[in-house]
Each structure stands twice: as structure tokens, then as C-alpha cells.
């Protein structure tokens, strides 16, 4: 199921020529293989990148959102035991109720 993205009210700004916008990303259903595709065009950007992404509500402690520049997807990683590498959330895992706030920088 796709992530639902909502623009945060009164969040749009400009830093010089760069447009900045805050969005909330609500997850529901199961995590898709490879992460979520979030099109910058839906927010009026020709191109853009994610800035900071912070949890509002999370599916578990230690879940780290990370944009994948190569695929254009937003992926989520979870920590394992101490000292181990982060692993991508398993495709098919229920992520209902997780919400993140993200900044988008673009033009």
C-alpha cells in the first residue's frame, strides 16, 4: 500500500532560490519490497530531495528512514542486536500507524 503524504499547513518557505516544504508521511498496510516511491511532482516540485526525516509515531524503536538516491524510494531500516548493521524492514511487515515528518528541498 502506498504511503499517504500530507503537506504540513503553513510549512512552505524559500531559502534563497530553494523551495522548502514539510510533509507528513503516514504508513499503512504492509511495507513494500524496496521501499516507498514518493514523487516530488505531487508537491509541485520539478526535482527535489529529502532533508531531515523524523518520526512522529514509529513502528518500532530503532527504525531509521532513509531516502535511496539511486532508486528514488524512501526505505526504512531497523537495528538488530548491538553492533550489527541496520537491515531494511522486511517486505510484508505491517507498518500501520507509523508517521514521519520530512523536509523536502527542491525547485
Domain ranges of the chain: 4-106
Taking the model in full, what pTM does it have?
Answer: 0.85
pLDDT in tens, 70-103: 898 999 998 776 767 888 999 998 888 889 999 9
CA gyration radius for the chain? 14
Q: How far is CA 91 from CA 11, 23, 35, 86, 105, in A?
A: 32, 24, 8, 15, 28
Q: How far is CA 8 from CA 24, 29, 59, in A?
A: 7, 22, 21
What's the rounded Cα separation, in Å, for the pair 65 and 54? 8
What's the rounded Cα separation, in Å, for the pair 105 and 103? 7
pLDDT in tens, 4-61: 999 999 999 999 999 999 999 999 889 999 999 998 999 999 989 898 899 898 766 6
Asked whether 52 and 102 are in contact (CB, 8 A), the reply is: yes
Amino acid at each position: 500500500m502506498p504511503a499517504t503524504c500530507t503537506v504540513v499547513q503553513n510549512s512552505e518557505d524559500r531559502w534563497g532560490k530553494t523551495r522548502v516544504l514539510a510533509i507528513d508521511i503516514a504508513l499503512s498496510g504492509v511495507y513494500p519490497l524496496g521501499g516507498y516511491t514518493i514523487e516530488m511532482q505531487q508537491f509541485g516540485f520539478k526535482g527535489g530531495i529529502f532533508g531531515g526525516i523524523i518520526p512522529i509515531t514509529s513502528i518500532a524503536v530503532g527504525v531509521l528512514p532513509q531516502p535511496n538516491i539511486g532508486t528514488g524510494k524512501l526505505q526504512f531500516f531497523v537495528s538488530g542486536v548491538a553492533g550489527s548493521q541496520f537491515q531494511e524492514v522486511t517486505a510484508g511487515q505491517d507498518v500501520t500507524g507509523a508517521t514521519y515528518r520530512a523536509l523536502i528541498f527542491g525547485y
